[in-house]
Structure 1
Amino acid sequence: MSVKRLTVIGIGAGDPDHLTLQGAKAIAATDVFFILDKGEEKSDLVRLRHRLIEDHAREPYRIVEARDPERDRTTPAYTEAVEDWRERRAALYLRLIDEALAEGQTGSFLVWGDPGVYDSTLAILERLPGFEIEVVPGISAVAALTARHRVSLTSVASPLHLTTGRRLSEQGPTADDMVIMLDARCAFDGLDDFDIYWGAYLGTPDEILIAGPVAEVGERIKRERAQARERKGWIMDTYLLRRR
């Protein structure tokens, strides 16, 4: 008996050329693409997905779009809010797959960056039994960041800690080299014994890159981050902290 196949395809950090040959082949082998709309503010994210499908998909194929469930970003119960959002997203995925994907067909989710780095798609699909799932890695925001700054991600004999702005704010520095994802709090503020390599909208025409000692460029990052978020309505940023 044939089963429904799901492919999670990493599409890179924002540049259409980030798509790998493996990713292009996976798009070409897809029957149904599932795309979640996050609202007008983040329409850039949807447009890139449509462009990659137009460039690499093979007829006949279908695109199924739905509105992404809202997550409660006001509650202090962060873990519970994320769990609730994942449960509602899993229910939405299951409904879309049941309605749009036939037995023996392949449905794909195009994931920003790399599916294995700071993304919830795999954790959500794991809640849905009975499907064959394949993962195609992509160029992560972390890889794009270090490439654009022309710097190595790791130092000799030094551990690397990948964490969030929320955790850095709560715990402080936990290693000499740290990658911080999505830091609305600008938790680097005051870490004057670190250099920072910061980037937002990596790989897109709106890309912003700033690097230097935190004491010298921290205020500029905060200012440009706030202005960019006000201008676009959203921001995705990543940075590397390295103790001086």
Structure 2
Amino acid sequence: MSSAPRRILVIGMGAGDPDHLTLAAVKAMRRADVFFVLGKGPEKSALTDLRRDILDTHVPGSYRLVSAEDPWRDRTRDDDPGYTSAVHDWRRRRADICERLIRDELAPGECGAFLVWGDPALYDSTLGILDDIGARGAVLIDYEVIPGISSVSTLAARHRITLNQVGRPVHLTPGRRLAEGLPHDDGDVIVMLDAHQSFTRLAGEELWIYWGAYLGTPDEILVSGRLSEVADRIVALRAEARARHGWIMDTYLLRICP
């Protein structure tokens, strides 16, 4: 039996536009023997289709794609003390699936790849899962990370803004933490993973919002303006888009009005 590790590439593929892949990402994709995908079910098949579009655009000839169903996660616990344990349980079950795929579908010495939305270092579980698999010791792996253009960078580009103002900080937070209020200084706030539209709780604040959904895809939606004036519009657009597509990914920046 070969003692060579299975090589894994964790490739940031941007927010959805095939043109957003870096040259390093394209070169890495062309090194892979197999691509691993965890599907999100029929209602989110467009996410897998976007990955195929990116592979068709940048990988010449045929390529091998191996998929499995992403394990269910209890999202009813997103706002209570059970959130952390629910996420850890979901990640453990995800690691079980990924370990099986790597063991069964990738021979020692071969190279497999995970295409990660945006950048692998920003609110993504892939690196933690690979560390978990490596620590188990059942499958010998070695992985490399290729950064990508994040939805945060894409949001700023689409709205033609900078993420920071001169000499002031920028805070990055998941939406569930926004329920605790804004940070206690004058910095701007970038919000991701906001399934509960936490910005609506701040509509009374003097804030400007730059919001974007499906960034980098043909379904992209952008809204900006004083939060008190556009919050209801964003809620309506978000509900309509989610009903139409079966899923939504959105990001926004909150800035104190000048």
Distance in 2, matches of 1:195 and 1:39, equals: 35
Secondary structure of the 1:108 match is strand
Which of residues 125, 129, 139 is equivalent to 2:130? 125
Q: How many residues align?
A: 243
Residues 190-201 of structure 1 mapped to structure 2, 5 A cutoff: 190-201=203-214
Residues 70-109 of structure 1 mapped to structure 2, 5 A cutoff: 70-75=72-77, 76=80, 77-109=82-114
Distance in 2, matches of 1:204 and 1:58, equals: 22
- Is structure 2 residue 145 aligned with structure 1 residue 135? yes
- Is structure 2 residue 51 aligned with structure 1 residue 49? yes
Q: CA deviation at 1:61?
A: 4.2
Distance in 2, matches of 1:34 and 1:206, equals: 25
Distance in 2, matches of 1:33 and 1:163, equals: 30
Which of residues 180, 186, 190 is equivalent to 2:197? 186
Distance in 2, matches of 1:85 and 1:157, equals: 39
Return the letter of the residue paired with 1:237: D
Maintained 8 Å contact 1:68/1:89: yes
Q: CA deviation at 1:56?
A: 2.6
Q: Aligned pair in 2 of structure 1 residues 59, 4: CA closer, same or farther (>3 Å)?
A: farther
- Runs of 4+ aligned residues of structure 1 deviating over 6 Å after TM superposition are none
Greater Cα offset, 189-198 or 17-26: 189-198
Return the letter of the residue paired with 1:20: T
Greater Cα offset, 144-153 or 54-63: 54-63
- Is structure 2 residue 220 aligned with structure 1 residue 207? yes
Maintained 8 Å contact 1:9/1:136: yes
- Alignment partner, residue 178 of structure 2: 168
Distance in 2, matches of 1:191 and 1:185, equals: 17
Maintained 8 Å contact 1:29/1:57: no
- Alignment partner, residue 13 of structure 2: 11
- Runs (5+) with no aligned partner, structure 1: none
Return the letter of the residue paired with 1:160: V
Distance in 2, matches of 1:143 and 1:121, equals: 20
Greater Cα offset, 175-184 or 100-109: 175-184
Which of residues 145, 151, 154 is equivalent to 2:155? 145
Distance in 1, matches of 2:256 and 2:130, equals: 38
Q: CA deviation at 1:59?
A: 5.5
Q: Aligned pair in 2 of structure 1 residues 230, 219: CA closer, same or farther (>3 Å)?
A: same
Secondary structure of the 2:210 match is strand
**Cα RMSD after superposing both structures:** 1.4
CA deviations 1:62-104 (Å, max 9, x no partner) are 2111111111112341111100000000011111101011111
Secondary structure of the 1:44 match is helix
User: What TM-score do the two structures reach when normalised by structure 2?
Assistant: 0.90
- Alignment partner, residue 137 of structure 2: none
Distance in 2, matches of 1:89 and 1:181, equals: 21
Distance in 2, matches of 1:115 and 1:45, equals: 16
Distance in 1, matches of 2:124 and 2:205, equals: 30
- The percentage of counterpart residues that share the same residue type is 55
- Alignment partner, residue 20 of structure 1: 22
Secondary structure of the 1:127 match is helix
Distance in 1, matches of 2:101 and 2:220, equals: 33
- Alignment partner, residue 29 of structure 1: 31
